[in-house]
Amino acid sequence: MAYRIHSDAEEVYVITEEFKKCCLKEDGSLFFKSKEIWTEENLSHFIDVFLGHPDLSSDDFFTKFERQLRGKRKSTIVLAAELLSVYLLFPELKTINGRFSKEQAVEEVLNWAGLSLPQEHLIRTAFKGGLGDAGQANNRYRPFQIAFLASYVRRLKSHPEKNKLLAEATRFGRDVHAVNANDALGEHVSKYAKYRFSIVPMQNILTHLIFPAYFERIASRRHKEMICKAFSEYTNDQDSIDDKLWDIRASLIPSGFNDFYEPYWKAKWHGLSSSELRKRKKAAANSPTRHPVKYWVFGLREYEPHHSVLQGQYVKHLSENELEYIEDDKLVDVRYRDGGDWVFVEVKPTVNIATRYAIRVAVGQLLEYQYAQNPAAKLEIVLGDKPQKDEIDFVESLGMRLLYLDSDGQTFQRLL
């Protein structure tokens, strides 16, 4: 899998799947279900307002954006707010221009149309997180990122193979990267050579948002090139840069790889010394990852290989004990009936994380699932290694069940 996100950003992938369905495949709205916002005609109108009449003053982005949009029809302002929302989903930002949070920025734009973001909309939660560092160019060239997004989606709407593009990752990636700045941004921008790479962050971000299982969560073209150079032995020179990254990921997974921005792997493609690499690898093996790991495709979670392998072995164990189970339902890894009771199971591989930290994360997740879904459910943690006695005592004090995979790699031992 090509995506790894932390717990306060998991909703981002739910939102992007909704964006793909409602706004790309259809002409609907990300915020207002009854409205048609992402039509080819509305996109064209926004592009004319935004690119056709550029504000070249030295004022900040939102001041200029408001001047361009004030008095325009509501559907165009809503489109502007939704374009801004998609732009804001990826970067881990606290404020925009030092003035607004992500949520406040979108509310500000909607306010120009006398509207507000629906109170219960999931994007409010998604805005609290992010997927990664979008780089300086993404912030410096914000108008061009948004303009590219609008221009590409308009192009997609009239593409004769739109459905195929939205169904096949590699085909979609080639089409996104085939668009250059001149095509996307028009005559005004094409006069300035320094802007010709200004759309690259959004190209990389858009491909990841729409096909997160294939494209890496990397906004920087330079980072992608550095990774491909560092691991060139795993690549084919004829492949695209994203195909190379896919091959590299597949080749590194047996070595415990999860993400190119983990300290050890980042050090490798940054060219650090072997002693520094050993130090970082040791630190990574004995401490929790910086963020809990989750994988999403609109409600259906896909997992890192270590997780999927351990979960596969565990459900086989359930089958052998003639227990019926359900996988990946409403965030719960596995749920099964034991007599008349539902049991919620959280699976935690311990390849790159100590059992103590795996238990801490699992406890919080299971308590939340129990509270939100079934207060009577029994809770069970499945680990990849045997925990320490004090860790077992902690789980027992909570009334939870606890199993681990024995050193034979086949048998599950029940501790509680």
What average pLDDT does the segment 356-361 reach?
Answer: 87
**Can you give the pLDDT at residue 195?**
56
Q: Are 151 and 185 in contact (CB under 8 A)?
A: yes
> How many Å is the Cα radius of gyration of the chain?
24
User: In the numeric block, which tokens belong to residue 160?
Assistant: 């004769």
Write the DSSP string, 347-363: EE--SSS-HHHHHHHHH
pLDDT band at 293 (very low <50, low <70, confident <90, very high): very low
Residue 116's pLDDT is 93
The pLDDT of 208-236, averaged and rounded, is 91
Mean pLDDT of 25-47: 94
Of the chain, the percentage scoring pLDDT greater than 70 comes to 85
Provide the pLDDT for residue 275: 64
Q: Which of 48, 217, 15 is nearest to 122 (CA)?
A: 15
- The whole-number pLDDT of residue 299 equals 38
Within 13 A of 34's CA, how many CA atoms are on the CB side? Answer: 1
Average pLDDT over residues 27-40: 94
Looking at residue 8, what is its pLDDT? 55
User: Could you report the per-residue pLDDT of 171-200, keeping only the tens digit for each?
Assistant: 999 999 988 777 767 665 555 445 556 788
User: Quick one: average pLDDT of 373-401?
Assistant: 94
Q: In 3-state terms, what secondary structure has residue 413? A: strand
Neighbours of 198 (CB within 10 A): 23
In this predicted structure, the answer to whether residue 222 has a pLDDT above a threshold of 70 is: yes
What pLDDT does residue 97 have? Answer: 59
For the chain, give percent helix, strand, coil, nearest 5: 55, 10, 35
Its sign, for the CA torsion 310, 302, 216, 355, is negative
Average pLDDT value for residue range 245-259 = 84
274 pLDDT tier (thresholds 50, 70, 90): low
* pLDDT at site 160: 94
Instruction: Tell me: pLDDT of 343 over 80.
Output: yes
- Worst-scoring range by mean pLDDT, 30-44, 75-89, 258-272, 304-318? 304-318
pLDDT tens for residues 78-108? 999 999 999 999 988 765 656 788 999 999 9
Predicted confidence (pLDDT) per residue in 387-396, tens digit: 999 999 999 9
The backbone torsions φ and ψ at residue 110, rounded to the nearest 5 degrees and listed phi first, read: -60, -35
Q: Is residue 351 pLDDT above 80, yes or no?
A: no
Q: Structural domains in the chain? A: 7-210 (no CATH), 221-285 (no CATH), 305-414 (3.40.1350.10)
